[in-house]
């Protein structure tokens, strides 16, 4: 297993060949300067799949302790992780959606999300995904903003609702002109 170091709110792999291998295996993280920076949610999945071993201050961290650490930093971590894991299990390329104001950007199966240069229509984000628990209360303004966001970037908007058993149900909401 590859050693990955937890530093604050990210996990780093410093071995260049291992970093490249993990990045190329599923478009995980941000690669550059001989290292791979993984979001906590990406690191959790890779750790669960036994692809990486997370280390903090020279000591291995169990997956359970890592989840507790992540949950302290992000109160929605468990809900977001359930959705991220489900999307990845479906074989979809998933990137974080922070700069778009959503939880995840999801691409069609087989698309390389980090292509340089002009993109064809199929290479754009297919879905923007908002992960919520089943007891989440949403205002119409929030719903309208999320639909408008997806529409503006030519993507479909999905609400991913996670129930108490961590099952995920997806609802597509579209922008309609009347």
Q: What is the pLDDT of residues 64-96, one digit of tens each?
A: 999 999 999 999 999 999 999 999 999 999 998
The number of angstroms, rounded, from the C-alpha of 27 to the middle of its chain's C-alpha atoms is 11
Q: What is the mean pLDDT of the chain?
A: 90
Name every residue whose Cβ is closer than 8 Å to that of residue 4 and which is 6 or more positions away in sequence.
11, 12, 13, 38, 43, 46, 47, 52, 53, 54, 55
The arithmetic mean of pLDDT across residues 14-43, rounded, is: 93
pLDDT at position 49? 96
Considering the chain, tell me which residue range(s) the CATH 3.40.1350.10 domain(s) occupy: 77-173
pLDDT at position 114? 65
CATH architecture of 77-173: 3-Layer(aba) Sandwich (3.40)
Task: Give 24's Cβ-side CA count (13 Å radius).
Answer: 6
CATH number of the domain located at residue range(s) 2-73 in this protein:
3.40.1170.20
- Kindly tell me if the per-residue pLDDT of 150 is higher than 90: no
> Is the alpha carbon torsion for 23, 81, 98, 171 positive or negative?
positive
pLDDT at position 98? 82
- Kindly tell me if the per-residue pLDDT of 56 is higher than 80: yes
- Kindly tell me if the per-residue pLDDT of 151 is higher than 90: no
User: pTM of the entire structure?
Assistant: 0.90
pLDDT at position 116? 57
């Amino acid at each position: 297993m590859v050693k990955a170091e937890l530093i604050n709110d990210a996990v780093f792999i410093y071995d260049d060949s291992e970093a490249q291998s993990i990045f190329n295996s599923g478009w995980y993280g941000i690669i550059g300067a001989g290292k791979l920076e993984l979001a906590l949610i990406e690191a959790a999945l890779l750790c669960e799949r036994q692809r990486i071993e997370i280390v903090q201050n020279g000591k291995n961290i169990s997956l359970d302790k890592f989840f507790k650490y992540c949950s302290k930093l992000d109160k929605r971590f468990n809900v977001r992780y359930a959705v991220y894991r489900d999307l990845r299990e479906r074989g979809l390329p998933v990137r974080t959606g922070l700069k778009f104001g959503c939880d995840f950007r999801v691409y069609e199966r087989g698309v390389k999300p980090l292509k340089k240069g002009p993109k064809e229509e199929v290479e754009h984000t297919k879905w923007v995904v908002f992960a919520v628990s089943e007891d989440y209360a949403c205002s119409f303004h929030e719903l309208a903003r999320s639909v408008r966001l997806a529409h503006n970037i030519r993507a479909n908007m999905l609400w991913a609702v996670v129930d108490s058993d961590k099952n995920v149900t997806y609802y597509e909401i579209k922008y309609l002109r009347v």
